[in-house]
Amino acid sequence: MRVLHTADWHLGQHFLTGQERLTEQKAFLNWLLATVQAEGVEALVLAGDVFDTTTPSHAAQELYYDFLVRMQGTGCRDIVVVGGNHDSPTLLNASRRLLRALRIHVIGGVPAEADEQIVALGAAGGPASLVVCAVPFLRDRDLRLAVAGETPDARQLRIRDSIAGHYLKLSEHDLVRRLREQDVPVLATGHLYAAGGEAREGAERDVHIGGLGVIGAEHFPAAFDYVALGHLHRPQVVGGQARIRYSGSPVPLSFTEADDKQQVLLLDFKGAGEPTITALPVPVTRRLQRFHGELDEVEAAIIAFDNEAFDLVAWADVLVKSDEAPAEVQRRVQAALKERRAAVLAPRGVRHQRLTDAPDVVAEAAAPIEHLHELTVEEVFRRRVAGLPPERATALTATFQELRQLLAEADPQAWSGEKS
C-alpha cells in the first residue's frame, strides 16, 4: 500500500505583516493533489496542525474543505486527519461524521472510546491493507496530569509514562494485533515533541508542561511499522530509527525555517514491516531570505538578489551592523529595497545593530522587535510566571492550560487561544 505522510500545514497562518499566507498554502495543496494522483497514493495521513489557530478564518477553512473535496478525484481511497496542538478538536470533529462517508477519518481529539482511534484501511469490501492508530495531540486532561503536591520532575515522568501507555494500549488492541498477525502493516500518528528532535525557538512551543523531551523512540512499540509525527517543522528522524519521522511543514513558517528543505514522505508498505520511504521535495513559492551583515554587504546583497525562480515576492529579515547614523542606514537600505521591490520586501522593517556597542546591548539590538499582537496567549503567560519559583510556575501553568483548552472548546468563536 502506498501512503503519503504530511503534517503542520498551519492553514491561515499570519506572518509578520498580519496577512494570511493562503496563496502559498493553496499552491502547496494544488501541488499535493497533483502529486497524490501522479504517485498513485492510496492513503493520505495528516499528522496534526491543520490550522494555525483554534479559530481559523473562513478562508482557511474553505481551503481545507475544498482540498478534501478535490481529493475525491485523485484515486486516493482514504484520508486520515488528526488534530494538533494548534487545532480545535471541536472544530475538526464538527464535520467528522459527514466526512466519514467520503472515507475521510478525522480524530480531532482523544475520543471517549479507544476503538475510535483505530482505523483499518483497504479497498471497499476487501481485506485491510493498513491499520492506523490515529493518535492526535494528547492534551493535559487526556493524560490526567493534575496531582496535588507533585514535583516537576515526577510530573514530567508521569507525562512520559502516560503518553507511552496510550500508545502501548493501542498497539495491544485486539484488532491491531490480529491484523498484524495477518501481515497487515501498522502505522501510528503522533503530534508531540520526541526526545532528540530539533525544535526552533518561537516556532514550536512547549506542548506539555515541565519540559518537551519526555518521549523517546523507545517509547513507541515495535508493533508500529511506521510512526508519522507532526509538531516539529524540520523534517527529521527520531532516535536514529527511520520508521519514526517528522515530515516537517510544507511551507516555511518563520525565518528560522528559511534554510529547511520542505518535503512530504511517500511510504511503500509490502505487508507488515518497515516501509520503503521516499522524500518528495515540495516546491517553495515564496522565499524567506535573511540579509544580515554590515551596511555595504546588506545593500549590495539586496541589489543583487535574484528571485526569478520563485512565483511570489520574497520576504526578507534585514539586520544591519553599522556605526552609521540610524537615519543613514535606513535611507540606504530602504533605497535598495525600493529598487528591488518587485523581488523582495522587508515586512518587519530594517533592524540596526551598532558595531561598537557592548555585548549585552548588541544582543538586545539584534533581537527581533516584538509586538504584543505577534505573541501567543501562552507565550505571554509563560513570561509572566518566569520569575516565580519553579513549582509555583508549574502549578499555575497547568491550571492555565486546562482553562485555555476548556474555553476554546466551549466557545471557539469567542476565544482564539493563540494571539494576544
Which one, of 207, 109, 222, lies nearest residue 159 by Cα?
A: 207
Instruction: List the beta strands (DSSP E) in 108-216.
Output: 118-121, 130-133, 186-191
Domain ranges of the chain: 2-281, 286-363, 370-419
Mean pLDDT of 284-288: 93
Residue 106 pLDDT > 50: yes
pLDDT at 202: 47
pLDDT in tens, 344-387: 999 888 999 888 864 555 555 555 545 554 556 766 777 787 76
Higher pLDDT, 378 or 276: 276
- Fold of domain 286-363: Double Stranded RNA Binding Domain (3.30.160)
Do 348 and 317 touch, CB atoms closer than 8 A?
Answer: yes
pLDDT in tens, 144-194: 655 666 676 777 788 888 899 999 999 999 999 999 999 999 999 999 988
pLDDT at 137: 93
pLDDT at 212: 42
**Is 156 strand, coil or helix?**
helix
Burial class (CB in 10 A: 0-12, 13-18, 19+), 111: middle
Do 101 and 157 touch, CB atoms closer than 8 A?
Answer: no
The CATH architecture assigned to 2-281 reads 4-Layer Sandwich (3.60)
Mean pLDDT of 37-64: 96
pLDDT bracket for residue 15 (50, 70, 90): confident
Mean pLDDT of 317-343: 94
**Could you say which DSSP state residue 373 is in?**
G
Q: All 3 cell numbers of residue 245? A: 519521522
**Is 356 strand, coil or helix?**
coil
